[in-house]
Amino acid sequence: MTATAVCTEEDVIEALSTVMDPELDAPIIDLGFVRSVTLDDDGVTVHLRLPTAFCSPNFAYLMASDTLDALRLVEDIGQVQVLLDDHHDSEKINAGLAADAGYVGTFGPEAEESLRELRRTFLSKAHAAAMERCVEAHLKRTGLQANEIYRLTLGDLVPGENKDALLRRRAGIGLSSCPASRVFVDDNGKRIPPESVPMRLRLAKSVRISMEGNAHFCRGLLATRYTGSESAGAAPRITNLRTTRSPR
């Protein structure tokens, strides 16, 4: 507790970059949800904000507690404080985070279920959307027929952003990244029978459209909500109050 915090600003930003909005499948720092980062000799304080005061409390809690967890992994970070601003449950969530109370401990009797299932649902959706992007790009590039997609392996995909994203999503739900693995699989890694592939691809497409659209909407709302405020931009405001220099 008394040890002086010496991690760098970059370490903190890097850790924040790993925290995702589960529904939009995008890093919260890119979405503008990280309002400010303050470093001092005791540790780090991060303020989060969301597109509306009524963003779902379970998602808000997920993102805030993920932020806390990600920051605690940073070496020599000292004390970590995460605060959610301007939300209808800010008080509850902030008190719960400070006390490490967990989701049920924070919200009490209404929060009977754990958030695990919700998280899994969104990881699966993120996987479906990433899979669709890769398959569509591959079809466009090679002229492969829809009924041959089932044969496609990870090794067939050209390296790049889409493939990297797919591999990350696969890791997220525990699927292999072996080049011989089939691309078009269900959430459990099971192959889709060839005759069902076109239909499943169509559904994956609507998952992708839905996620992309929500991200547009949330970014737009966040910008509208914070127009004219000191921290209107997407990048967090970083304040370094350290009296001792960090190593490096």
Q: Measured from the CB atom, is 68 or 118 closer to another protein?
A: 118
Nearer to another protein, 79 or 196 (CB): 196
- Nearest distance from C-beta of residue 22 to another protein, angstroms: 11
126: left (phi over 0), alpha (psi -120 to 50) or beta: alpha
Q: Which is nearer to another protein, 196 or 239 (CB)?
A: 196
Q: Minimum distance from CB of 203 to another protein (Å)?
A: 7
The whole-angstrom separation of Cα 55 and Cα 140 is 37
Q: Which is nearer to another protein, 203 or 235 (CB)?
A: 203
Residue 23 beta carbon to another protein: minimum distance, rounded to whole angstroms: 7
Smallest distance from another protein to CB 97, Å: 16
3-state helix, strand, coil in the chain (%, to 5): 50, 10, 35
Residues of this chain that interact with another protein (CB under 8 A) are 23, 51-54, 56-58, 88, 107-113, 118, 125, 195-196, 198-199, 202-203, 206-207, 209-210, 212-214, 216-217, 220-221, 223-225
CA distance 87 to 43: 24
Please give the Cα distance from 187 to 106 (Å, whole number): 31
Q: At its nearest, how many Å lie between another protein and the CB of residue 212?
A: 7
d(CA 25, CA 40): 31
For residues 21-51, b (16+ Cβ closer than 10 Å) or e, as one string? bbbbbbebbbbbbbbbbbbbebbbbbbbbbb
- Closest to another protein by CB, 39 or 218: 218
Whether the CB-CB separation of 69 and 106 falls below 8 Å is answered with no
- Give the tokens for residue 171: 């890791």
